[in-house]
Structure 1
Amino acid sequence: MKRNAGSPRRVLIVCTANICRSPTAETVLRHRLDGAAVEVESAGLAALPGTPIDPRTEAVLAAHGLSAAGHVARRATPAQIAAADLVLAMEQRHLSALRALVPSARARSFLLGRWQGNADIPDPYGRAQDAYEEAYRMIEAAVEDWRARL
């Protein structure tokens, strides 16, 4: 993929706990950007650092030929948010929290589902397996729309 002038070099994807949605989006985006000079990472606003990826999330990724098995949760920090060229959040409440934490990030913070009508991507944690699969489908579509714009 060719980078456009002014394209982000660092993308941060944020959710709540950094064990389901944001590591999924990180894994899918990194895979789609294969070979591009873009650093992709994820973090959670309320993450318990060191928590492994949710097993149901990993199962859905594996079903699509991907893996985040080595992922451990990280808590989003103001420095990490400030260093990112593009910050993508799963829900409007995450976006609001990010912008409150680092006001200077407002112009480069968006919903991952921006190109799907600013759709929130619901948290599948603790729900049935089909919720994880639906979250994956929504994330995959959103990532593809972002990839086309990076």
Structure 2
Amino acid sequence: MIKVLFVCMGNICRSPTAEAVFRHQVRAAGFEEAVHIDSAGTHDFHIGEPPDERAQRAAVRRGYDARELRARQIHERDFEVYHYILAMDRGNLAVLKRECPPQYSHKLGLLMQYSKQFSEGITEIPDPYFGGQQGFEHVLNLVEEAGRGLLDEIRNEKGIKPEFRS
């Protein structure tokens, strides 16, 4: 099983959005038995809280469900367990790099590196927390596109096949 962890600062806006979107994309592709998805924060600001209401509203409008998710902080064991540990921005990636044991540093990256927009200079998913609803929509746009690229990477590099159900 391939394990993917999305990481932002508080785990209430960007990373749970990425988790919900990617879970939907993986399920739609028939890979839900082959890919485990989670999210975490680099800080302990919101442990146990659901995603931000604005993030949830934006997600629901597009058919994603993040209501059951709860914020957690990244744990030392996550570096060992997960195959992909993807930060939403360079600041969170820097925190991950400081905390990550050297033997697992190859697992770290930015989610946007899987987006076609990465080559156009869009390397981070901006934090919408202090902005309006449009920021949450923008996060969804970026996460959807990067998620498709990540799914292609996993499908091609790891050779997973969809689960067909009768």
Aligned match of 2:12 = 19
Shift of 1:97: 1.3
1:58 and 1:105 map into 2 onto residues whose CA distance is 32
Q: Do structure 1's residue 40 and structure 2's residue 37 form an aligned pair?
A: yes
Which residues of structure 2 form unaligned runs of 5+?
Answer: 155-166
Shift of 1:126: 2.4
Give 2:126's aligned amino acid. Answer: P
Alpha-carbon contact 1:99-1:105 (below 8 Å) kept: no
Aligned match of 1:3 = none
TM-score by length of 1: 0.90
Cα shift readout 1:91-114 (whole Å, capped 9, x = no counterpart)? 112112112101332111110001
Kindly name which structure, 1 or 2, has the bigger radius of gyration based on alpha carbons. 2
Structure 1 runs (4+) deviating above 4 angstroms are: none
2:2 and 2:150 map into 1 onto residues whose CA distance is 14
Aligned match of 1:144 = 148
Q: Secondary structure at the match of 1:67?
A: coil
2:73 and 2:58 map into 1 onto residues whose CA distance is 23
Q: Do structure 1's residue 9 and structure 2's residue 13 form an aligned pair?
A: no
Aligned match of 2:163 = none
2:103 and 2:91 map into 1 onto residues whose CA distance is 17
Give 1:46's aligned amino acid. Answer: H
Alpha-carbon contact 1:12-1:86 (below 8 Å) kept: yes
1:25 and 1:104 map into 2 onto residues whose CA distance is 26
Shift of 1:49: 1.0
Give 2:81's aligned amino acid. Answer: A
Alpha-carbon contact 1:24-1:61 (below 8 Å) kept: yes
Q: Do structure 1's residue 124 and structure 2's residue 128 form an aligned pair?
A: yes
- Alpha-carbon RMSD across the aligned residues, in angstroms, is 1.3
The size of the alignment, in residue pairs, is 143
Shift of 1:16: 0.4
Aligned match of 1:104 = 103
Aligned match of 1:114 = 113
TM-score by length of 2: 0.82
Percentage of pairs with the same residue: 33
Shift of 1:82: 2.1
Aligned match of 1:4 = none
Q: Secondary structure at the match of 1:10?
A: strand
Cα shift readout 1:88-138 (whole Å, capped 9, x = no counterpart)? 110112112112101332111110001323611000012111011111111
